[in-house]
């Protein structure tokens, strides 16, 4: 039955599909940190919709609000019309996110994807400054549309554009240069301050504080502060792409809070809708809000059911610090477990912050094999990094410690199966 039912995917779904190849089963239902396939097999989720499910699958608090809203015929499709759902969300953003952090941002609703938020941020930075170049970083990932691809590192993804990707200049991310390599800031400062360097003065710098797709590469708080200072000194706008690392993934709601910096523009998507529903935001300093009405628009900017679940998620999880302290504590647990693995096996290292962690393999092919062995044992994990050499752990923030330990046990077993020379 199952094999027959798989055929339709092979038969008519485009070759572009990806995750279904790593996880060859047909999923049916999900709850919390678990997915169930149509044969009734359960899988623990250390992937969380690539960071779109920080509050777990079908979170009951959000689900109830969503069902109530749908059943009372609340607006579903709203373009950028004012709605009751949007008003409540904006009020909650103001009182729960911005005011307590002393942040003064205007809120833009772009199309409902991370890439669309990035496009809007880049367009706005160029419009406001009248400059075209953007500085981006090695191993960055910002989405698959042309503007976002231009600031993305991965060669295979860039190649898909089919046209030259222009007006971006890559810089070394924190830790990119080999031991003994020059300080990346000396390089950046030198070229920015030299009229003959060949790099035009950029409109903006776009950065992820932790590069999720790029291999769980972590910018230190000192590095982020230096970057913010470098931008401020030269009137270059700082865009933090918090699409994957925002919404509490690293502990605090915004991933840049740990560095105590205030970006000029922030992009959010993935978990901002709370329930896995498409939604994105661009936050900008008020003086940057120089858009003309409709200058960046889109049919699905008003996904009001997502506004409802976004609002409830903010109110329920961000009115106090429980989720964020829990994330840090669970992150410690993950780190302790992964450190044990790196001590037990050769050719392994680990890095992480909050509840995003990477297990890095000197032999890249082992990472994919570990993910496959984990899948066979009921755990979903994906690889990331330039050579897919990193097993990336991205569990829901609402996962219990017992579930975490269970998944980490499967991971340890899978590493044992794959890595020869195991003790």
Ligand X SMILES: *Cc1c(COP(=O)(O)O)cnc(C)c1O
| Closest residue to ligand X: CB criterion | 114
Both tokens of 298, joined, read 């889109």
Q: For ligand X, what does the binding mask look like between residues 46 and 85, x meaning CB under 6 A?
A: ----x-----------------------------------
221-248 as b/e: b if 16+ CB within 10 A: bebbebbbebbeeeebbbbbbbbbbbbb
Residue (213 or 403) nearer to ligand X, CB? 213
Of 323, 387, 318, 393, which Cα lies nearest the Cα of 355?
393
Minimum distance from CB of 346 to ligand X (Å)? 31
Residue (113 or 226) nearer to ligand X, CB? 113
Q: Compute the distance between CA of residue 347 and CA of residue 291 in angstroms, rounded to an integer.
A: 50
Residue (33 or 271) nearer to ligand X, CB? 271
Minimum distance from CB of 242 to ligand X (Å)? 8
Q: Compute the distance between CA of residue 355 and CA of residue 245 in angstroms, rounded to an integer.
A: 10
Non-local (6+) Cβ contacts of 15 within 8 A are: none
Residue entry with tokens 């205007």: 106
- Binding residues for ligand X restricted to 255-274, rule: CB under 6 A: 269
**Looking at 108, 217, 244, 271, which residue binds ligand X (CB under 6 A)?**
244
**Looking at 110, 114, 273, 305, which residue binds ligand X (CB under 6 A)?**
114
If DSSP codes are grouped into helix, strand and coil, which group holds residue 75? coil
Q: Compute the distance between CA of residue 101 and CA of residue 274 in angstroms, rounded to an integer.
A: 20
Using CB atoms within 10 Å of the CB of residue 385, give its burial: 0 to 12 exposed, 13 to 18 middle, 19+ buried.
buried
147 binds ligand X (CB under 6 A): no
**Looking at 30, 89, 115, 312, which residue binds ligand X (CB under 6 A)?**
115
Minimum distance from CB of 37 to ligand X (Å)? 24
Of 219, 168, 217, which Cα lies nearest the Cα of 386?
217
Minimum distance from CB of 227 to ligand X (Å)? 16
Residue entry with tokens 């780190």: 335
**Looking at 92, 113, 255, 271, which residue binds ligand X (CB under 6 A)?**
113
Span interacting with ligand X, options 139-147, 229-237, 283-291, 381-389, rule CB under 6 A: 139-147
Residue (135 or 419) nearer to ligand X, CB? 135
Both tokens of 229, joined, read 């200072």
Residue (141 or 361) nearer to ligand X, CB? 141
If DSSP codes are grouped into helix, strand and coil, which group holds residue 335? helix
- The full 3-state SS of 160-222, as one line of letters, equals CCCCCCCCEEEECCCCCCCCCCCCHHHHHHHHHCCCCCCCCCCCEEEECCEECCCCCEECCHH
If DSSP codes are grouped into helix, strand and coil, which group holds residue 19? helix
Q: For ligand X, what does the binding mask look like between residues 224 and 243, x meaning CB under 6 A?
A: -----------------x-x
150 binds ligand X (CB under 6 A): no
Span interacting with ligand X, options 113-121, 160-168, 334-342, 350-358, rule CB under 6 A: 113-121
The half-sphere exposure of 314 on its side-chain side, counting CA atoms within 13 A, is 21
- Binding residues for ligand X restricted to 189-218, rule: CB under 6 A: 208, 212-213
119 binds ligand X (CB under 6 A): no
Scanning 319-380, the segments in alpha helix (DSSP H) are 322-344, 365-376
Span interacting with ligand X, options 114-122, 219-227, 252-260, 363-371, rule CB under 6 A: 114-122
Residue (32 or 212) nearer to ligand X, CB? 212
143 binds ligand X (CB under 6 A): yes
Minimum distance from CB of 285 to ligand X (Å)? 20
118 binds ligand X (CB under 6 A): yes
Contacts with ligand X by CB under 6 A lie at: 50, 113-115, 118, 141-143, 208, 212-213, 241, 243-244, 269
């Amino acid at each position: 039955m199952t094999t027959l039912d798989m055929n339709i995917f092979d038969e008519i779904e485009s070759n572009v599909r990806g995750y279904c190849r790593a996880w060859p089963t047909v999923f049916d239902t999900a709850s919390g940190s678990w997915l169930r396939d149509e044969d009734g097999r359960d899988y623990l989720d250390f992937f969380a919709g690539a960071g779109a499910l920080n509050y777990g699958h079908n979170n009951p608090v959000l689900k109830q609000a969503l069902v109530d809203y749908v059943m009372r015929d609340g607006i579903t499709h709203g373009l950028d019309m004012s709605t009751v759902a949007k008003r409540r969300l904006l009020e909650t953003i103001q009182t729960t996110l911005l005011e307590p952090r002393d942040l003064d941002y205007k809120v833009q609703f772009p199309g409902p994807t991370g890439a669309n938020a990035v496009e809007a941020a880049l367009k706005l930075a160029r419009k406001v400054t009248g400059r075209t170049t953007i500085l981006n970083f090695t191993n960055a990932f910002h989405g698959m549309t042309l503007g976002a691809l231009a600031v993305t590192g991965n060669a295979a993804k860039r190649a898909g554009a089919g046209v030259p990707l222009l007006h971006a200049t890559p810089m070394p991310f924190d830790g990119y240069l080999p031991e003994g390599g020059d300080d990346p800031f000396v390089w950046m400062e030198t070229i920015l301050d030299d009229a003959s360097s060949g790099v035009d003065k950029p409109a903006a710098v776009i950065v992820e504080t932790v590069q999720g797709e790029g291999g769980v590469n972590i910018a230190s708080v000192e590095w982020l502060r230096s970057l913010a200072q470098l931008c401020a000194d030269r009137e270059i706008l700082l865009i933090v792409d918090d699409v994957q690392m925002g919404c509490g993934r690293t502990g605090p709601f915004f991933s840049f809070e740990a560095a105590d910096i205030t970006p000029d523009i922030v992009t959010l998507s993935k978990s901002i809708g709370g329930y896995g529903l498409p939604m994105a935001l661009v936050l900008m300093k008020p003086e940057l809000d120089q858009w003309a009405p409709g200058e960046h628009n889109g049919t699905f900017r008003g996904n009001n059911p997502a506004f409802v679940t976004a609002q409830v998620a903010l109110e329920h999880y961000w009115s106090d610090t429980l989720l964020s302290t829990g994330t840090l504590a669970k992150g410690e647990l993950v780190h302790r477990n992964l450190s044990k693995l790196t001590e037990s096996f050769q050719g392994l290292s680990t890095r992480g912050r909050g509840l995003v962690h990477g297990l890095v393999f000197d032999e890249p092919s082992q990472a994919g094999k570990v993910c496959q062995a984990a899948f066979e044992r009921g755990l979903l994990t994906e690889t990331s990094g330039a050579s897919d050499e990193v097993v990336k752990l991205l569990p829901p923030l609402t996962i219990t410690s017992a579930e975490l330990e269970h998944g980490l046990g499967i991971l340890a077993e899978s590493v044992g199966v794959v890595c020869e020379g195991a003790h």
